[in-house]
């Protein structure tokens, strides 16, 4: 059955790939991001590929209270319910915490933790009434590796999602933490790293299409944790039992 999905950080990267795969199977999407031009381009692309699907655009800066309120209002619209919420918006910072601006770190925490918490809370109001819904929080395998504040915010998402899934699954609403490894998107470019200069071996990189397709299967199965690709499932398992010092040294690789 066709559903409606709201995707934050939808203008590029994994967010845009979620939009492509969801509309290709007949689902409607609500695209949320700051970049209106990129949203318009993606909307045109999706319309050309899947003309029968509804694409709604919400240009919003989720760190702006008024914009966040508009997205929250859309999630709580009982006349136009959202079946799937994908909390994908985020950004990275250099690992040298002591050299980063503390306000940038604060925005980092807000976008990765406060915003998904607020949007999840809003979505639950309608999903629990209907007895159906899925929520996906974009975490990372970094959640299992000491890696500055990026790992810390992702650890929170994993812990919150696992608890929420156990709490609400019996009422028809599932919550999944999606934990991809290094994935070819423009995420690293926004950190100022041209392709091939991230310091990560080629075999560790994933294709965005694989990450999205595998995670969508896990989301729909109601799993609390989705780690796309077998190799990252293994690496995450090793990271959980590795000595803290070794895990921290691994976490220093790349950016």
Distance, in Å, from the CA atom of 255 to the CA atom of 213, rounded to the nearest integer, reads 25
Choice between 1 and 253, residue whose per-residue pLDDT is larger: 1
- CATH code, domain carrying 78: 3.40.50.720
Whether residue 53 contacts residue 23, with contact meaning beta carbons closer than 8 Å, is answered with: yes
Q: What is the predicted pLDDT for the residue at 32? A: 98
Distance, in Å, from the CA atom of 141 to the CA atom of 240, rounded to the nearest integer, reads 10
Does 150 qualify as catalytic in the annotation?
yes
Q: What is the mean pLDDT of residues 171-188?
A: 85
Q: What is the mean pLDDT of residues 40-52?
A: 97
Distance, in Å, from the CA atom of 47 to the CA atom of 54, rounded to the nearest integer, reads 8
Q: What is the mean pLDDT of residues 238-248?
A: 57
Q: What's the pTM value of the predicted model, to 2 decimals? A: 0.88
The residues near 2 (Cβ < 8 Å, ≥ 6 apart) are 26, 27, 28
Say whether pLDDT at 197 is over 80.
no
Catalytic one of 150, 168, 182, 232: 150
pLDDT in tens, 86-116: 999 999 998 899 999 999 999 999 999 999 9
Total domains in the fold of the chain: 1
Q: What is the mean pLDDT of residues 3-15?
A: 97
Structure-block tokens of residue 27 = 């689902």
Name the nearest CA neighbour of 6 among 24, 46, 33, 42: 33
Domain around 205: 4-251
């Amino acid at each position: 059955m066709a559903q409606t999905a709201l995707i934050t950080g939808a203008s590029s990267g994994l967010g845009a790939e979620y939009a492509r795969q969801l509309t290709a199977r007949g689902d409607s999407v609500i695209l949320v991001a700051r970049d209106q031009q990129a949203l318009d381009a993606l909307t045109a692309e999706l319309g050309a590929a899947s003309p029968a699907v509804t694409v709604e655009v919400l240009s919003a800066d989720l760190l702006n209270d008024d914009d966040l309120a508009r997205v929250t209002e859309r999630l709580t619209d009982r006349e136009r319910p959202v079946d799937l919420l994908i909390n994908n918006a985020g950004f990275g910072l250099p690992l040298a915490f002591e050299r980063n601006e503390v306000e940038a770190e604060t925005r980092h925490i807000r976008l990765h933790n406060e915003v998904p918490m607020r949007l999840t809370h809003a979505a639950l109001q309608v999903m629990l009434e209907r007895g159906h819904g899925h929520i996906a929080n974009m975490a990372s395998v970094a959640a299992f590796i000491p890696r500055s504040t990026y790992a810390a915010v992702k650890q929170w998402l994993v812990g919150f999602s696992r608890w929420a899934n156990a709490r609400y699954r019996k009422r028809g609403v599932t919550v999944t933490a999606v934990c991809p490894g290094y994935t070819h998107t423009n995420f690293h470019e926004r950190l100022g790293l041209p392709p091939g200069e991230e310091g990560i071996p080629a075999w560790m990189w994933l294709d965005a299409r694989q990450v999205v397709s595998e995670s969508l299967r896990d989301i729909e199965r109601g799993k609390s944790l989705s780690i796309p690709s077998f190799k990252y499932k293994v690496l995450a398992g090793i990271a959980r039992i590795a000595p803290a010092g070794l895990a921290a040294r691994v976490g220093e690789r790349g950016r």
